[in-house]
Chain A
Amino acid sequence: MYKLNQSNSITRLADNASIPNDPANTDYANYLQWLSEGNTPEPADIPPEPTYQELRASAYPPATNYLDAIVKGDTAQAQAYIDECLAVKAKYPK
């Protein structure tokens, strides 16, 4: 029995071996043979949905924008940074 992975490999369930998608690999060739006999691998695990923290972290503007505004005394740039952060929080609520 085999299971598909998210990455470019499959797992052989008997020994948890990761088999690359390489026709020159003997184990992969055996997997293809197994498929040709009408067998079907288990589907890959569905990756978990990202948390709101992860979504926010990837969307926040660079903190250097805020620091740059402080150094320059640019209140408008600082406020723009804050507004962008608040917009991200609103987009990805808790």
Chain B
Amino acid sequence: MRVSDTTAEATRSALSQMVEHNNSIDLAGQTVTLSFWIRFSASSRPATSEFVYQLSEYDSIDPAHSSTGATRANDIVINNGSLPTVWTKYTHTVIVASTMKNIGARFLCAEQRAASSEGDFWYEIAEVQLEAGSVATPFEHRQYGQELALCQRYYEIGRVYGQVYFYNSTINASDRFDASFSYKATKRASPTVVLTAITAGTYSTVVNTPEMLSARRVGVFDIATDATFTSASEL
């Protein structure tokens, strides 16, 4: 993943990924190792602040505001002037607090560009891995299908195909779809749902108040066209 800034001034960029509580809790009190590959567009940035990576520990379950409430005693700095311009692997081993409920990784570039007159500065991160133990093992490459199924626990897009009730011999604006659908993967929590009508104009009505919102399925009522949906239960 490349993080690039070509327009703004004094911008701060942060990449963070929290691990769901169910997958974090077994690491409480344990030794864990974060590993990743990174490279920068230049060894020195115009701005003087360093690049920081850290393991974040949260003492609450799946906190909504991941940027706050975390203990960040594990900051590691890659000094300005020593930023690698070729892919370089970093590892970081810590003992996690026994009270930890969630763990995550965070990469912070406090001031990516100090002024718009500066050229683009970017960095790329790949193969981030957090694992139990003190040894960073080779990155575990999953098959596409496995990765997709795991992602669908948190986010899914799809299309609503309804059953049309024809009140008249031809379709008109008063005709409505009622539909419900089960997700391909049970979500972490009841997801936020957004419906978007596929067609425009007369038949574009979408009453965007689905019911039966749950981690497994949702009901969509009283829409006048097929629609796409997104269901999100990300951390």
Q: Which A residues are closer than 8 A to B by beta carbons?
A: 5-9, 11-12, 15-20, 22, 24-30, 33
Contacts and interface: CB of A to CB of B under 8 A. Distances in A.
A33 B65 contact: yes
B64 A30 contact: yes
Contacts of B234: 26
Interface string B52-95: 00000000001111000000000000000000000000000000
Interface of B: 62-65, 188-195, 208-211, 213-214, 232-235
Nearest to A24: B189
Contact of A25 (B189, B194, B195): B189
Contacts of B194: 15-18
Majority secondary structure of chain A interface residues (helix, strand, loop or mixed): mixed
A25 B233 CA distance: 6
Contacts of B233: 24-26
Contacts of A27: 192, 232
A50 B192 CA distance: 30
A56 to B, nearest CB: 18
B198 to A, nearest CB: 15
A6 to B, nearest CB: 7
A9 B210 CA distance: 8
